[in-house]
Amino acid sequence: MELERSERQLDVEAVADELSSRDHVKVAGQADADGVTSSALLCMALESNDVSYTFTAVDEPDRCLSVDADVFCDVGASYLDRLDGSVVLDHHEGTGEGSTGVSAVDSTAGSTSEIAYEVAQELDVDRPDVAAVGAAGDSSIPDWLAEAAVDQSLARISSELKLYLDEPAEALAHSIEPYTRLSGEYAAAREFVDSVDGEPASDDDRLATAVTLLAAEEGRVDAVEELTGALELRRYGGRSASTVAATVEACARTGKTGLAFAVLYSGEFDRAERVRRAYESGVASAVENSEMEHRGGFVLVRTSCQHTSAVADVYSRWIDDGVDDVVVVDEEGGSASIQSEDVDCASVAEEAAEAVDGEGGGHRDRAGASFAADGTDEFVESLEERWT
Ligand SMILES: [Mn+2]
């Protein structure tokens, strides 16, 4: 079956030619693990072709319209017609034909990092381990990519748990992937670890098994399967791709993209891992303290946490077997994240926000909005009217 042009518009070679023909390239990427990783991979390839670069993170997808960039990574597919002259690498579903010269948009790809990997290869930089980080951040690492990393001795596949467990109770209490009944509950996590940890021998195995069972209690078998079979990356101190992804994600979401680049370029983890801990414990406690109500068509989650999309990720994966249509609002900051497979999130977010003098937009299956801090209820009502 031939794919629609808007689904798959892969012009990898043309993108590589276009970017490497310049002296300097302004790169912009979505402020999450995949967006920053795909951007960093592209920057590595540019650098090795003597092209200098600057990087800007785009914290909300619709902001790409006000960022001056030559290439957008992991963002832009919804705005192809308005990003005249820029290159777009994206795996989100686009809205119609674009007028940009060359682009590589493939909504069948699990991550933009996979597309950036192909572009980088055209530029003679072959780093499947970096691409695996972005892939792990968005969905799962495709076999072909894992195999490429193993073939080049950049990675090995271990059967260990992907959750980082230097200090198990803390790791469990902070964990948002998986989010379990112990997330946000340090004392209960401590008790859990102590109960498993009885005998000194083979602690790791017993704990790994216990954590897997714990995650299984949440009922997401596919997600539990993803917890084992870690791809351990040699250039990142043997950390698993999902551990590196979570660290990059935390730095990207908290505006510390320099730290995220330091992780990906040179494996510098010290400060970045502290950022990750603070970020994840904040999100875990926000979920713990959030209030959920059923509205027309979606589940509304009220928080006072600015990381609404991270809270939405936890709800869509881990709460009540995974909530399909979720709207998370930060009542203090006046922002919202929306996830749904059924409605066009980008349009409803844009329209509902505009109706309350705010701004919104994003991707088809996930979008965001910002509005006056006291306008939460008005925004939610406006959203409900448009949710069909
Ligand atoms: Mn992505």
Burial class (CB in 10 A: 0-12, 13-18, 19+), 200: exposed
**329 Cα–ligand 1 center, Å:** 22
Q: How far apart are CA 141 and CA 81, in angstroms?
A: 31
Find the 263 Cα to ligand 1 centroid distance in Å. Answer: 18
Mean pLDDT of 145-167: 82
Classified as helix, coil or strand, 314 is helix
What is the rounded average pLDDT of the residues 168-186?
84
| C-alpha dihedral, 149 to 151 to 154 to 155, nearest 10° | 70
Structure tokens that stand for 250 in this block: 């935390």
Asked whether the predicted pLDDT for residue 3 surpasses 50, the reply is: no
Stretch among 1-15, 259-273, 282-296 having the lowest mean pLDDT: 1-15
Domains and CATH numbers, the chain: 8-137 (3.90.1640.30), 168-284 (no CATH), 289-386 (3.10.310.40)
pLDDT given at position 5: 41
Q: How many residues are present in the chain?
A: 388
The token pair that represents 104 in the structure block: 């590589």
How close is the Cα of 132 to the center of ligand 1, in Å? 12
Residue type, position 268, single letter: E
**Dist. CA 78–CA 97, nearest whole Å:** 10
**Dist CA 82 CA 174 (whole Å):** 40
Dist. CA 181 → ligand 1 center (Å): 28
The per-residue pLDDT of the chain, averaged, comes to 88
Q: 44-53, 76-85, 259-268, 302-311: which has the minimum mean pLDDT?
A: 76-85
How many angstroms is it from 111 CA to the middle of ligand 1? Answer: 5
Query: What is the distance in A from the centroid of ligand 1 to the CA of 35?
Result: 6
As a whole number, mean pLDDT of residues 9-28 equals: 93
> What pLDDT sits at residue 254?
96
Predicted confidence at residue 128, as pLDDT, reads 98
E-state strands within 215-298: 231-233, 291-294
Asked if residue 126 has pLDDT above 60, the reply is yes
Contacts of residue 134, defined as CB under 8 A and 6 or more positions apart, other chains included, come to 33, 34, 36, 37, 38, 41, 111, 112, 113, 114, 116, 245
Tell the residue number behind the tokens 């912009």, with chain if given. Answer: 28
Q: Which tokens go with 106?
A: 């493939």
For residues 191 and 213, which has the higher predicted lDDT (pLDDT)?
191
Cα 136 to ligand 1 centre (Å): 10
Q: What is the pTM of this model?
A: 0.86
CA of 74 to the centre of ligand 1 (A): 5
Query: 9 to each of 88, 118, 373, how far by Cα in Å?
Result: 10, 14, 40
More confident residue, 317 or 39: 39
**Amino acid at position 117, single letter:** Y
Mean pLDDT of the 268-272 span: 96
When pLDDT is cut at 50, 70 and 90, the band that residue 63 belongs to is: confident
Q: What is the pLDDT of residue 160?
A: 63
Question: What phi-psi label fits residue 175: left (phi over 0), alpha (psi between -120 and 50 degrees) or beta?
Answer: beta
Question: Is residue 181 predicted with pLDDT exceeding 90?
Answer: no
Output the CA 240–ligand 1 centroid distance in Å: 19
> Quick one: what percent of the chain has pLDDT higher than 90?
64
pLDDT at 361 over 60: yes
Helices (H) and strands (E) in the chain, counts: 15, 14
C-beta pairs of 313-320 under 8 Å, 24+ apart in sequence: 313/176, 313/177, 313/339, 314/176, 314/177, 314/179, 314/283, 314/287, 315/287, 317/177, 317/178, 317/179, 317/220, 317/223, 318/178, 318/179, 318/180, 318/218, 318/220, 318/223, 319/179, 319/287, 319/292
Query: What DSSP character marks residue 238?
Result: T
Distance between Cα 29 and ligand 1 center (Å): 10
Q: How many angstroms does the Cα of residue 292 sit away from the middle of ligand 1?
A: 27
**Residue 200 C-alpha to ligand 1 middle, in angstroms?**
41
Measure CA 39 to chain center: 13
